[in-house]
Amino acid sequence: LQATQNDPFTFIVCADTQIGIASQNREWETELAYSRDAIRLLNKLEPRPLFCCVCGDLVDMESTIFATWSGGDAAAIERCDEVQNAQNRDWKATWNALHEDIALVCVCGNHDVGNRPNAATMQRFVAAFGDDYLAFWVRNTYNIVLNTNLFSDPTDAMEMYEHQLAWLESRLCYAQEQKASHVFVFGHHPWFLYHQDETDDEMSGASAFPKEWGESTTTFPDRYFHIPLQYRKQALALFEQYSVTAAFSGHFHQN
């Protein structure tokens, strides 16, 4: 029977495939094996999901994050870019095994475009995976994919941040006018961890580094994971105004 607009359906949300993280980018077969296991499970699902959204950090290597570890010079940046290119190719080759009836949606994370993204880093992602933000219908639901890196730190891309914010409002308004049954938002960073008005100053928790990196007392502070309040408030106000059903994210590996 042909599906109607209001028929129920399923979709998959996953995140942080982050190939290369365990070995700090010396190899990434470890993480590719995890992806292959996930893809085998997804392909067996019945009824078949209509799409699978990978919420960012597809790969681990990103030159603005790692080049400083190797001296930060032009040669180090070039080496990092070469590794990221190889990881991007291997990621796409692996995820090409996802069943052709399951649409694959790729979201950019900070390890794809940098903790402080700029036009050049985002263009690298777009060249490899397509638009860094987009929207699409599935049945009667409207799905909005955001580049949350621009909300996390727009310092080097303020014009892009403002353009995306205006675009977001226009898409939400459109979904409301079209009477979407649900509006789902997908991004990499969680908007908040504990409550929507949390500030950096009250974020006292921390998360350990991956155990594969060896013994370390260094941790990731909780404030590393959420969207700063000044930018979060702008998005959440729109989500409330236009009755967004749910916002999905990755990034916070402890969830």
* Residue 76 pLDDT: 85
Any domain includes 66: yes
Any domain includes 4: no
* Residue 103 pLDDT: 98
Any domain includes 2: no
Any domain includes 5: no
CATH code, 35: 3.60.21.10
DSSP state of 196: T
In the Cβ-directed half-sphere of 71, how many Cα atoms lie within 13 Å?
Answer: 8
pLDDT at 219 > cutoff 50: yes
Any domain includes 7: no
Structure confidence by residue, pLDDT tens digits, 150-171: 999 999 999 999 999 999 999 9
Task: Give the distance from CA 221 to its chain's centroid.
Answer: 19
Structure confidence by residue, pLDDT tens digits, 31-58: 999 999 999 999 999 999 999 999 999 9
For 86-112, what is the mean pLDDT? 99
Backbone angles phi, psi at 173, to 5 degrees: -60, -45
* Residue 221 pLDDT: 83
Average pLDDT, the chain: 93
Which domain covers residue 158, as residue numbers? Answer: 12-248
d(CA 83, CA 75): 13
- Give me 121's structure tokens: 């880093």
pLDDT band at 119 (very low <50, low <70, confident <90, very high): very high
How far the first Cα of the chain sits from its last, in Å, is: 38
Structure confidence by residue, pLDDT tens digits, 168-200: 999 999 999 999 999 999 999 999 999 999 999
Any domain includes 43: yes
pLDDT at 255 > cutoff 60: no
Task: Give the distance from CA 130 to its chain's centroid.
Answer: 13
pLDDT band at 122 (very low <50, low <70, confident <90, very high): very high
pLDDT at 2 > cutoff 50: no
Give the total number of structural domains in the chain: 1
Any domain includes 196: yes
Backbone angles phi, psi at 142, to 5 degrees: -110, 130
* Residue 27 pLDDT: 97
What's the pTM value of the predicted model, to 2 decimals? 0.93
Any domain includes 40: yes
pLDDT at 203 > cutoff 90: no
